[in-house]
Every structure is written in structure tokens, then in C-alpha cells.
């Protein structure tokens, strides 16, 4: 590690408690905000006593791409960071029975989850999720 990287790391450590608290606040807002959605759920049971680096949703009914486009049209950036290993080029030669992973991986999407998100921005994301979910129920 060079000196610049070390200096950045030391500066970030001073902010760690604040960043962990803020991420917990954001997580709580997201979980509370989407709890009544029918087709959009947290990807797994989040534990409010743990610190996470991202927040992943599971979009039911194979509507992930439609969800991503809908969010993009509203100026909300999303991501797809999870893929079964055997779909990665490096692991294509390895076979395994990953039928469950292959069945559900294309339902996952990452939401904005950085500590500088304002409460208004978080609510905007939640409102967009709820709006998309209601469209799916029609």
C-alpha cells in the first residue's frame, strides 16, 4: 500500500462510525418504505444490527430489466452485481447443479446506498419502487 492510499484509509476510519450509523438509517428507511410491496422484496432478511455495503432487492415475475429502465427514467441509478459463478467467463468450464441460483439471479438489483443520500432522495427512491410495484399489480 502506498502512502496516499494509507492516508485515505486513515481519514476514512475516522468517519467509520458515522458511515455505519447512516447506512443503518438508510437500510431501515428502505425496509420500512417497501414493506407493503407485493412484487418487490429485500433480497434476503436484513439484520438491522449489521452494517451492509449495499441494499439488494428481489424483483418478482422476471421484471428486473423493466424495473431498472423505470428507475433510470426517474434518474435513479441501480446495479446488478450478483451472478452465479458458472456464468462468469473464468468459471464457465466448471459445472455444478446451481439450478436455484440460475432461477433467481436475474431477479436481483442493487439500489443506491451511499452515506451521502439525503432523506429526500431515499424517499424519492422508495416512492419510485412503490409506484413500479403498483403498476405490476394492475
Region 117-137: what's the mean pLDDT?
95
pLDDT band at 95 (very low <50, low <70, confident <90, very high): confident
Question: Structural domain of residue 106, as residue ranges?
Answer: 17-136
Task: Please give the grid coordinates belonging to residue 28.
Answer: 431501515
The residue ranking higher by pLDDT, 124 or 81, is 124
Residue 93 lies in a domain: yes
Residue 11 lies in a domain: no
Residue 8 lies in a domain: no
Could you give the count of Cα atoms lying within 13 Å of 59 in the half-sphere of its Cβ?
Answer: 26
134 has a pLDDT exceeding 70: yes
Residue 4 lies in a domain: no
Taking 3-state DSSP, the helix, strand and coil percentages for the chain, each rounded to the nearest 5, stand at: 55, 10, 35
Residue 7 lies in a domain: no
25 has a pLDDT exceeding 90: yes
96 has a pLDDT exceeding 70: yes
CATH number at residue 109: 3.90.1150.10
pLDDT tens digits for range 30-54: 999 999 999 999 999 999 889 899 9
Three-state DSSP class for residue 53: coil
Q: How much is the pLDDT for 42?
A: 96
Domain count, the chain: 1
pLDDT band at 138 (very low <50, low <70, confident <90, very high): low
Q: Kindly provide the b/e burial profile for residues 70-93, where b requires at least 16 CB atoms within 10 angstroms of the residue's own CB.
A: bbeeeebebeeebebeeeeeeeee
Residue 5 lies in a domain: no
Residue 77 lies in a domain: yes
pLDDT band at 101 (very low <50, low <70, confident <90, very high): confident
What rounded mean pLDDT belongs to the chain?
Answer: 91
Amino acid at each position: 500500500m502506498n502512502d496516499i492510499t494509507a492516508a485515505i484509509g486513515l481519514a476514512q476510519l475516522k468517519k467509520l462510525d458515522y458511515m455505519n450509523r447512516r447506512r443503518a438509517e438508510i437500510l431501515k428507511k428502505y425496509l420500512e418504505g417497501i414493506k407493503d410491496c407485493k412484487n418487490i422484496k429485500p433480497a434476503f432478511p436484513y439484520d438491522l444490527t449489521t452494517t451492509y455495503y449495499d441494499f439488494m432487492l428481489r424483483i418478482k415475475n422476471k421484471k428486473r430489466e423493466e424495473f431498472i429502465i423505470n428507475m433510470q427514467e426517474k434518474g435513479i441509478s441501480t446495479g446488478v452485481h450478483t451472478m452465479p459463478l458458472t456464468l462468469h467467463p473464468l468459471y464457465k468450464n466448471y459445472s455444478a447443479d446451481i439450478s436455484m441460483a440460475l432461477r433467481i439471479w436475474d431477479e436481483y438489483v442493487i439500489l443506491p446506498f451511499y452515506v451521502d443520500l439525503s432523506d429526500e432522495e431515499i424517499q424519492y427512491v422508495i416512492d419510485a419502487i412503490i409506484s413500479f410495484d403498483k403498476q405490476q399489480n394492475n
